[in-house]
Amino acid sequence: MVMPPDEPKFDDLYKELILDHYRYPHNRGVLEKPDVDMQQHNPVCGDKIRLTAIIKDGAISQIEFLGQGCAISQASASMLTDRVKGLNLGDVDKLSINFRDMLKGGKPDEQLMQDLMSLQGVSKYPIRIKCAVLAWDTLQEALGLK
């Protein structure tokens, strides 16, 4: 299928979504009295993430992050907070596994992944995968899922 020249390509739309989450991150901050408070960093590139979350009835009721680093790490953290809010811990684990598989070139469950599909292109750049999974590593470790 040939796209008309005046219509953006899907890759361009995905890049815009990543840049939008980087420029205007969702759920940015630190929760007071969180059940979960974990920080991690990637010493190779300098990306840093801190996640705080409140867990109620086995689900993430609130989650926020602070961080610094590249657009991929920060956008991934922003998207993570949007996507996991309200999920029970089992579903968070399932989503995390699917996200990692996608970044390793596997076929993602598009319905499960939603906006996270925009990060699928990272799989073409193995050195950037660590940027994309930093927030996910932090969350899984904080929740005892890793």
In a domain, 92, yes or no: yes
In a domain, 2, yes or no: no
Tell me the torsion sign for CA atoms 104, 110, 114, 120: positive
In a domain, 15, yes or no: no
In a domain, 10, yes or no: no
Residue 49 structural domain: 21-142
Chain position carrying tokens 């299928």: 1
Reported as type and span, the H/E element at residue 61 is strand 59-68
CATH number for the domain spanning 126: value is 3.90.1010.10
In a domain, 64, yes or no: yes
Q: What pLDDT score was predicted for residue 105? A: 93
Tally the domains of the chain.
Answer: 1
Q: What would the two tokens of residue 38 be?
A: 């974990």
Q: Are 28 and 64 in contact (CB under 8 A)?
A: yes
In a domain, 4, yes or no: no
Q: What pLDDT score was predicted for residue 3? A: 41
* pTM of the predicted protein model: 0.89
Going from the first residue of the chain to its last (146 residues), give the mean pLDDT of each consecutive group of 10, the final group possibly shorter: 44 79 97 97 93 97 97 97 97 96 94 94 93 96 88
Q: Could you tell me which residues come within 8 angstroms of residue 141 by beta carbon, excluding any fewer than 6 positions away? A: 38, 40
Q: What pLDDT score was predicted for residue 145? A: 84
In a domain, 14, yes or no: no
